[in-house]
A and B are shown apart, each in its own frame.
Chain A
Amino acid sequence: MITTASTTLSPEILKDARRRERRVAWRQTRTAWLFIAPAVFMVGSFLLAPVIFNVILSFTRWQKFTGLDKFAGFANYQRLFAVPYFSEALANTAIWVVGAMVLPLAFGLGLALLLRNIPLQETFKSLFFLPKVLAPTAVGAIWYYVYAPRGVINSAVSGVTGSPYDMGWLYSAATVTPSVIVTFVWQTVGITMVLLLLGLAAIPRDPIEAARVDGASSGQIFRHIIWPLLLPTVLVVTILNVAAGFTTFDLLWVMASDFPGKRTLSLAVYMYYESFSNGAWAYGSAVAVVLGVMVIAVTAALAVIQSRVEKNIR
């Protein structure tokens, strides 16, 4: 039987079978096109085409009311470094990125380790997660009054010291960025903690118990067992928070609405201010391109590190 079957598989039959197979594959591919078409169309025309147009736009001399104007080369990019606003916005963005990378992680990790073994863990988890469920606009509006001259923080300070205190946290260049970052951390620490708790739960208990039996201290156990195994989760959280640090807009726009120099509070705010308050569309596009390049470069680098670390653990 078997020998007769293999002798009848002449080249022509084989070729025919392969052709039929290819026809089936093409038919499935054509059906598949129908399934992916809506998503491809929407993303292509509302996200990817705008990005390409944005890059082109950044090389023109376009204002709100002038219509699409002629090619301007790198003029917009040269202007970035000619005005002080951009460098200030860039410096503040750097502060934001470092703050968003370090602070939620440090506090989130502390909280996660504190909450890991206590009763009512679920309740505490939900309470700390609650701010994340609120919109940044709503959080910004609440904290705007928390920081107000007669707000919650100043009342607390004067309550403790006994003398009136009316610091304008959101009105001074020295305090506005740290203040808004504190609010950002308040909103982000809960989700960071929950993600870290998920990572902690996935760490096997046996090596920890074994180390404890061998007399290792809690610090040693954390440094040599928990931290290396938690590192992939830490890096995922870092990627999310760093991207948020680069692009946070709502919180700043709402909380610093009274601050005269608000355009320099971050690149995201600067881009919005130049494009939509000043109508300098081409220039705003150039700011957006710079921001995009930085976000993509940094998150890509972090993603590479993350996948390396994950591979090392396996």
Chain B
Amino acid sequence: MAVDITDQSFINGLIEQERRAQRPRGRWMVVPIVILTIAYLTPFYYLLVTIFKTSEEYAKKGVLELPASLAPFTDNVIQAWTIANLGQAALNSLSYAVVGGAIAVAFAASAAFGMTRLNLIGANGWFMLIFTGTLFPFQMYLVPLLFGYQRLGLINSWLGMLLVYVAICIPFPLLVLRNSFSSITREVDEAARIEGASEWRVFVSMIIPNAKGPLIALFLLQFTFIWNDLLFSSILANGIGVRSIMVALQSLQGTYSTIGPNVVITATLISSIPTVLLFVMLRKYFMGGLQLGSK
């Protein structure tokens, strides 16, 4: 079929067709999406109106009604903070998450360096050994850890909690870092070695700076995991001085609790602040972490 490409109307037709293809299809789809999003966000709306209600107000009004004033919020925070000792619990969890996450990623990075850069004999076997740590459900660790911790005097201790978290947070970062270290060119460290740099120096000043993105993303993922943990901390450390924020939160809620929903909901908000803030500020790294996770 011959086409007269000098025919202006034909060209205009092509341009129009192209423009139609480029336009985001179905602008009307925004309507169901918005309705869906509103329904999806209702629990957040419920949270938002509840933290500003007093207990009496919560009992009398409908759950989705707006509060009379914003003032009760301060009192709710004070109640949640004092009854559940949230300050101490938040401090505990923050220290577990920062220290534990950092040590775990550091250990994983060091192991990944040893496995990819140093001609380690049997490197794959060592990797598989550590990677086995991601296969088992956490339920298989609980009873032996409780038993061992009682024998070693690590039960209800800050150090004991930290050690569990470090161990659990090593295998996944190792998997990711082994891949990203392998993709850094060999010439970098060969050159440094010829200059007389020690392996430690090669690791710290050549490899680490080249993998900053994955290292930060992995730290964030481990931080979030430790901060959010209820399972391990509820069994190994539920004393007031060492218990995690999630154990404190859980102690507020439930059958025998006489504390109003307004206070419990305020506590859930407080306990979610660090991870939500991190997500908002470092969205890029979080989404990067997801990509790491799916490979």
Complex interface: chain B residues within 8 A of A135 (CB): 227-228, 230, 246, 249, 271-272, 275
Complex interface: chain A residues within 8 A of B206 (CB): none
Q: Which residue of B lies closest to A39 (CB)?
A: B111
Q: Which of A38, A46, A128 has the most chain B CB atoms inside 10 A of its CB?
A: A46
Determine if A166 is an interface residue (Cβ-Cβ < 8 Å). no
Determine if A225 is an interface residue (Cβ-Cβ < 8 Å). no
Tell me the dominant secondary structure on chain A's binding face. Answer: helix
- Our count of residue pairs bridging A and B at CB distance below 8 angstroms stands at 268
A36 to B170, CA, bound (A): 11
A15-53 with Cβ < 8 A to chain B? 25-26, 28-29, 31-36, 38-40, 42-51, 53
A94 to B21, CA, bound (A): 45
A254 to B271, CA, bound (A): 15
- Asked whether A134 lies within 8 Å of B29 as measured between CB atoms, the reply is no
Complex interface: chain A residues within 8 A of B115 (CB): 32, 36
A198 to B288, CA, bound (A): 11
Complex interface: chain A residues within 8 A of B254 (CB): 254, 257-258
Complex interface: chain B residues within 8 A of A209 (CB): 21
Q: Which of A54, A131, A240, A291 has the most chain B CB atoms inside 10 A of its CB?
A: A54
Q: How far is the CB of A300 from chain B (nearest CB, A)?
A: 9
- Asked whether A134 lies within 8 Å of B275 as measured between CB atoms, the reply is yes
- Asked whether A38 lies within 8 Å of B111 as measured between CB atoms, the reply is yes
Q: How far is the CB of B115 from chain A (nearest CB, A)?
A: 7
Q: Which residue of A lies closest to B120 (CB)?
A: A32
A254 to B268, CA, bound (A): 12
- Asked whether A141 lies within 8 Å of B291 as measured between CB atoms, the reply is no
A232-265 with Cβ < 8 A to chain B? 233, 236-237, 240, 243, 246-247, 249-250, 253-254, 257-258
- Asked whether B235 lies within 8 Å of A276 as measured between CB atoms, the reply is yes
Complex interface: chain B residues within 8 A of A299 (CB): 135
Determine if A308 is an interface residue (Cβ-Cβ < 8 Å). no
Given that A135-B227, A195-B290 are contacting pairs, would A128 and B40 also be in contact in the complex, using a CB cutoff of 8 Å?
yes
- Asked whether B121 lies within 8 Å of A40 as measured between CB atoms, the reply is no
- Asked whether B111 lies within 8 Å of A36 as measured between CB atoms, the reply is yes
A157 to B217, CA, bound (A): 42
Complex interface: chain B residues within 8 A of A51 (CB): 136, 140-141, 144
Determine if B66 is an interface residue (Cβ-Cβ < 8 Å). no
- Asked whether B107 lies within 8 Å of A42 as measured between CB atoms, the reply is yes
Segment among A3-11, A71-79, A82-90, A117-125 that sits at the interface with chain B: A117-125
Q: How far is the CB of A314 from chain B (nearest CB, A)?
A: 15
Q: Which residue of A lies closest to B174 (CB)?
A: A39
Determine if A178 is an interface residue (Cβ-Cβ < 8 Å). no
- Asked whether A117 lies within 8 Å of B137 as measured between CB atoms, the reply is no
Segment among B1-9, B30-38, B68-76 that sits at the interface with chain A: B30-38
Complex interface: chain A residues within 8 A of B271 (CB): 135, 137-138
Determine if B194 is an interface residue (Cβ-Cβ < 8 Å). no
Given that A31-B199, A257-B255 are contacting pairs, would A296 and B136 also be in contact in the complex, using a CB cutoff of 8 Å?
yes
- Asked whether A39 lies within 8 Å of B137 as measured between CB atoms, the reply is no
Q: Which of A29, A141, A198 has the most chain B CB atoms inside 10 A of its CB?
A: A141
Determine if A143 is an interface residue (Cβ-Cβ < 8 Å). yes
A182 to B111, CA, bound (A): 40
Which of A32, A42, A118, A254 has a CB less than 8 Å from the CB of B24? A118
- Asked whether B231 lies within 8 Å of A39 as measured between CB atoms, the reply is no
Q: Which residue of B lies closest to A53 (CB)?
A: B144
- Asked whether A36 lies within 8 Å of B43 as measured between CB atoms, the reply is no
- Asked whether A36 lies within 8 Å of B275 as measured between CB atoms, the reply is no
Determine if A181 is an interface residue (Cβ-Cβ < 8 Å). no
- Asked whether B130 lies within 8 Å of A40 as measured between CB atoms, the reply is yes
A42-B163, A250-B246 given; 15 more Cβ-contact pairs under 8 Å: A29-B118, A32-B114, A40-B130, A42-B166, A47-B141, A57-B143, A114-B29, A118-B29, A133-B279, A136-B228, A151-B63, A195-B294, A198-B294, A268-B137, A296-B136
Chosen A-B contacts, 23 in total, with CB atoms closer than 8 Å, are A35-B111, A36-B111, A36-B115, A39-B108, A46-B141, A47-B133, A50-B148, A54-B141, A57-B144, A111-B36, A128-B37, A136-B230, A137-B228, A137-B250, A138-B268, A142-B43, A146-B46, A156-B64, A195-B290, A254-B254, A268-B139, A272-B139, A296-B136
